């Protein structure tokens, strides 16, 4: 989906203009615009609506306000890192059922385990296979 065909609201949401109704909303949490664009384009081709946050604090606020169906969470983030943002989201009984997939280039030994202990449901390391990422997203949005 090109940026010419995207409508944005004040929360960094993107939805196809004049396209089909996108019922599942995914929050993309990453501080690198290029990474968000890659994920936004990939998910847009699969008819998912995306929202974007650039740091963990913004992500926690957006989750409480917008209630996405799934979160793709980078780990290395400014202000509040992905581990802490995940812990805060999972600590809220109203939000804890939202699946969180950690998507990080910070894939050293033990990092996947740290993400799962923080509350992430799954982990994908960067660079990721688009097919693998879509398969994991679909697994949680059935």
Give the CATH number of the domain where residue 142 resides: 3.40.50.2300
Does residue 46 form part of some domain?
yes
Q: How far is CA 112 from CA 21, 22, 31, 64, in A?
A: 34, 30, 20, 25
pLDDT in tens, 91-114: 999 999 999 999 988 666 678 899
The predicted pLDDT at position 106 comes to 65
Instruction: Look at the chain and report how many structural domains it folds into.
Output: 1
Position of tokens 């949680």? 140
User: Which region holds residue 90: left if phi is over 0, alpha if psi is between -120 and 50, else beta?
Assistant: alpha
pLDDT in tens, 85-96: 999 999 999 999
The predicted pLDDT at position 41 comes to 95
pTM of structure: 0.83
The predicted pLDDT at position 72 comes to 98
Mean pLDDT in the chain? 86
* Structural domain for 54, as ranges: 25-103+128-142
Does residue 18 form part of some domain?
no
Does residue 118 form part of some domain?
no
Cβ distance 2 to 41 under 8 Å?
A: no
Burial of 9 (0-12, 13-18, 19+ CB in 10 A): exposed
Does residue 62 form part of some domain?
yes
């Amino acid at each position: 989906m090109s940026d010419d065909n995207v409508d944005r609201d004040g929360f960094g949401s993107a939805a196809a203009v004049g396209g089909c109704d996108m019922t599942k909303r995914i929050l993309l949490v990453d501080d690198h615009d290029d990474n968000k664009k890659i994920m936004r384009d990939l998910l847009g081709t699969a008819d998912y609506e995306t929202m974007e946050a650039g740091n963990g604090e913004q992500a926690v606020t957006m989750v409480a306000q917008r209630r996405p169906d799934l979160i793709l969470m980078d780990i290395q983030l400014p202000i509040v890192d992905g581990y802490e943002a995940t812990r805060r989201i999972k600590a809220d009984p109203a939000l804890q059922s939202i699946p969180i997939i950690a998507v990080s280039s910070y894939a050293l030994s033990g990092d996947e385990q740290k993400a799962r202990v923080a509350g992430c449901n799954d982990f994908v390391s960067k660079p990721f296979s688009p097919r693998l990422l879509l398969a994991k997203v679909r697994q949680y949005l059935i």
